[in-house]
Structures are given as C-alpha cells and as structure tokens.
Structure 1
C-alpha cells in the first residue's frame, strides 16, 4: 500500500466527468418534463371528453359512476346478506328522497311540512316489511291523514293562513310525496320481504340499471331525434331503442338464471320494466320543468338528488311486485 499522495485528475478528465453528470441530469430533467407534459395532455383530453359527455347528457360521468357504485353496492350487500338490512337502506333512501322533494315543492311555493312528510313516508317501510300489504296500506292512509290534518291545522294561525285553492294544492303536494316516494318505494321492501323476494328485488333493480345504461350509451352514440323535447330535451328515440333492446336481453337472462322463469317471461319482464322506468323518468323530468329546476337537489354530485336516481326505480318496484304476485310459485 503506497503512501504517495493522490494525484488530481487532469483538467480534461474533470471536464469530461462534469459534462457526463450534466448530460445525465439534462436527460433526467427532459424525461420528467416529458412525463409531466404527457400527464397534463392526458388529463386535458379526459377533461375535454368529460365536458362533451356532460354537455350531451347532463352528468359528470366519473363522479356519477362512483356514487352509483356506492349506492348499488349497499343495496346488493343488504339483499344478499340480511334482508332486514335492505329495509334500513330503504329507510335512508326514502327519508332523503321525501325530504328533498318536499323542500323542492316548498321552494316552488307549496307549504309542505317536511318532518311529518318524512316520518309518514318512512313509516311505510317497516310496516310493509313486517306486516305485508295490510301494514303498507294502513301506513299509507295514516300518512295521508297526518299530512292533510297537519296542513289544515296551520290554517288556524294568521301567519300561515292561505286561500282555499292554495290549501288544497298544498294538501295535494303532500299526497304526491306520500304516493310517489313512500308508497311506490315501499313496494320494493314488500317484494324483498317475500320468500325468495330478495332475488326478484335484485333482478328488477339490475334491469332498471341496465335499461338506464342502455339508453345512456345508445343516446350518447346515436341520439339525434328527441323523444320528448318539451319535457326532457336530452332523451332521444335512439336512446329509448337501446334501452328496450338491453331490457329484453337482460330480462330474458335474469328470468332464466335468477328467477327460474321461462324465456318469454323475460321479454314481458323487460318490456314492462323499461316502460315503467321511462314513465318514471319522464314524470320526474316534467315535475322538475314545472318547478323550474334542473335537479331535485345537489346531494349526489353527478346525479343531482336521490329522486333523480330513484325516478325509474319507484314505479318499477310496483310493477315488479305485481309480476311476482302473478308469476312466482
């Protein structure tokens, strides 16, 4: 081992090493800049695509998908694991939906008591689940009586007294919420409570989602001819045709594989559900147009409100229960 002092590199060697390090740093910096540029370009492209889709359909698609998966997952797990959990999920959905619809009607000038409305709507869920049809209809009629008497009692105070015409409009608004949200929604709970009814409930929910997806995709790709431009300008006949096609295919598959029904039942199932889902969707669109609002609420980003997601489900629940009564063994 030599004790001779280290000889420094010649100036040319030092310059070469510095140049090599600078070259590597420059390449790394260029690579980082290129990655940043590609990420920014991809993000801009995705944002532009999402803006075009949102302008065409009125939805923020990524957020809508995430929220839809969350709601769908909670319903799916509750039906498969313990049916009483589905009742709890239904209580939450009906409570929020009835509250936001009552709030929207109050914003439009109708004096609808929100808390009694929510209580009356929610009461139909456990009574339908545990007491069947009799409990469902008893809770429905009792809720109508509660809401009507509550509104009539407010006539006793000068601050809330209105003319007879406005009074009956307010009572009618309360009846609408109890029927549209509470009664129709309770049919899904009534169906799930039956022996094997959880599979029928799951099947009709899958079918509603399938028809909505089929209408969305075909309308986005091929939609040119408005279906009801004065009610819902974004709905097209091409989208409706796509929903019917998907509904029939999904109905046959669900009937054969999940409900143990003949193939022709699937056609009936699909046609009736797509009809009820479309009517429910258009009815809610007409309601929003009359109220002068885009969404019932903004509680669900990308969807609007709970009623904006349940508008097709509510009437379809009554249709699915009727089919169960007729066709289930």
Structure 2
C-alpha cells in the first residue's frame, strides 16, 4: 500500500506506547470483570482506585510542604464512596459534609492546642480540593452501577460511560498526534491542542449517540449530548491535573503504571466526566 499520501504525525506520542497498551488491556479486563459482577464488583474497584489516587496526590503534596492529613483523608474518601451505595446521593453528601467539617476543624489543631496553625487556609483549601477532585467525583462513577430501568442492566450504563471515555481519549490522542498545531491552553498544557479536542468531540459524540441508543434504548441525541458534556469535562479535568502538576513541578503523579505514569494520570479526565454521565444517564433512567 502506498504511504506517501498518508499524513505524518506532527507530534510524538510522548510515552512508551507498547507498555501503555499492555497496561490499558489489563485495566480494561479488570473493568469488564467488575462491570460483569455488578455493584458488588464495581464498588470495590472504584474504592480501590480512589484509595490509590488519593495516596498519590497526597504524597506529592506532602513532598512539597503541604500539611495534608493522609489517614483521615483516606478514611473520609472511602466513606464517601461506600455510603453512596446504600444511600446514593444523600449518603455521598452526608459523608462529604462530614469530611469538610473534619478538615476545617482538625486543621486548627494540626500542631496541637498550644501552637497556632500555619498555612491554615492553604492546607484546608487544598484538602477540600482533593476530597472533591477524587472521592466525590469518583462516587458518581460508582453510583452508575445502581442505575437500572426498563430492563436495562446497570452494567450497560457503566459500559456506556467507559466507551465514551475511551472514545474521547482515543479521538483526542489520534487527532492531537496527527494534526495538533494550535495549543488550547499553552500556559497550562502546551501539548493539548484544539485539533485534539475536536477529535475527542467527534469520537465522543458518535460513541455517545451509538451506545445510548443501542445499549440503553434512548434517543440518539441524548447520547450525543452526553458525549459532548463528557468530552468537555474530561478535557477540563486534564487541564486541571496539568496545572496541578505544573505548580508542583512534577511530570507524573507516580510511576505505578508503565507508559501511563500514576493512576491519577489516567483518572484525571474520567473523574469530572463521571458526574456529568451520572446526571444525564440518571435522568434518562428515572
């Protein structure tokens, strides 16, 4: 086949692609197994991901002189996830508000009763940011396993979410590598381009329309709306993590996943988009 007319990549992939693919296959298999098992499999997977991602982020923050209480953050994050199973959004809100109070009041006495708190506003705000960014958003992904209506199994809602996320990432990756030349936010993430965003929109919208209509049985335009909202949130989530790492002067959250970096480097766009997915699919399933 002649190749002289095929477009050449404008940008390098920027990672070990074979290792990334291998890790992606393993993670995909774990996700499929958890989806097949239902909430009893999906919730432990989400809770484990929350624990690892929270550990990564807190570790990086503590390395840069932020005083973040690791054990309370881990426990409260798990409470947010697990209470969303029996009590759904009410359990999540109750756990989140409790976590906010613990961080606000506990930070006052981080150095004891006789020593005034230092960097109180900074460290409290960062703690609440992490609790919102990881366990709260992840809880919406967990609650997808509790949606079911009109004979549609809850697993179909999770599969819809995951396929849209994969399509968004794939479309953005291909378009960004092949055609990316106009940076979207160069001050935050120089490698993220408008061409990559357009690829994510196209792939995410098409996948959303197909999965929502074929797997869930709803109108295709509802899936298109889901795809667009998911892509926008995923892209902004990527930018948030890019700025987070830029301020700390790090490239990856950890080296846990070869070819990917840390687990949080894979979840950055998925977490905020889970909230949009739960909202849209929850309305469809109600």
Q: Common fold, TM-score beyond 0.5?
A: yes
1:259 equivalent in alignment to 2:237:
no
1:154 equivalent in alignment to 2:107:
no
Asked if structure 1 preserves the Cα contact closer than 8 Å seen for 2:15 and 2:259, the reply is: yes
1:233 equivalent in alignment to 2:190:
yes
Aligned equivalents of 2:33 and 2:172: distance in 1? 26
Name the residue aligned to 2:30. 74
User: Which structure has the bigger radius of gyration?
Assistant: 1
Aligned equivalents of 1:193 and 1:212: distance in 2? 25
Name the stretch that deviates more: 244-253 or 188-197.
Answer: 188-197
Q: 1:186 aligns with which of 135, 139, 146?
A: 139
Q: CA deviation at 1:277?
A: 0.7
Name the residue aligned to 1:328. 285
Name the residue aligned to 1:83. 39
Q: 2:230 aligns with which of 270, 273, 287?
A: 273
With CA pairs under 8 Å and 6+ residues apart, which has the higher RCO, 1 or 2? 2
Provide, for residues 192-244 of structure 1, a one-character-per-residue CA deviation record: whole Å limited to 9, x for no partner.
12224332122112101111111111111111221211111111111111111
Name the residue aligned to 1:42. none
Q: Which runs of 5+ in 1 are unaligned?
A: 1-52
Name the residue aligned to 1:202. 159
Asked if structure 1 preserves the Cα contact closer than 8 Å seen for 2:110 and 2:117, the reply is: no
| Coordinate RMSD, CA, aligned | 1.9
Name the residue aligned to 2:269. 312
Asked if structure 1 preserves the Cα contact closer than 8 Å seen for 2:147 and 2:157, the reply is: no
Q: Secondary structure at the residue paired with 1:227?
A: strand
Name the residue aligned to 2:13. 57
Q: 1:144 aligns with which of 64, 88, 100?
A: 100
Q: Secondary structure at the residue paired with 1:130?
A: coil
Q: Secondary structure at the residue paired with 2:84?
A: helix
Q: 1:129 aligns with which of 85, 95, 100?
A: 85
Judging changes above 3 Å, is the alpha-carbon distance between structure 1 residues 84 and 226 closer, same or farther for their aligned structure 2 residues? same
Provide, for residues 103-141 of structure 1, a one-character-per-residue CA deviation record: whole Å limited to 9, x for no partner.
111122210011111111111111101221111111111
Name the residue aligned to 1:108. 64
Q: 2:179 aligns with which of 205, 215, 222?
A: 222
Deviating above 6 A after TM superposition, structure 1's stretches of 4 or more consecutive aligned residues are: none
Aligned equivalents of 2:106 and 2:51: distance in 1? 19
Name the residue aligned to 2:126. 173
Judging changes above 3 Å, is the alpha-carbon distance between structure 1 residues 299 and 148 closer, same or farther for their aligned structure 2 residues? farther
Q: CA deviation at 1:64?
A: 1.0
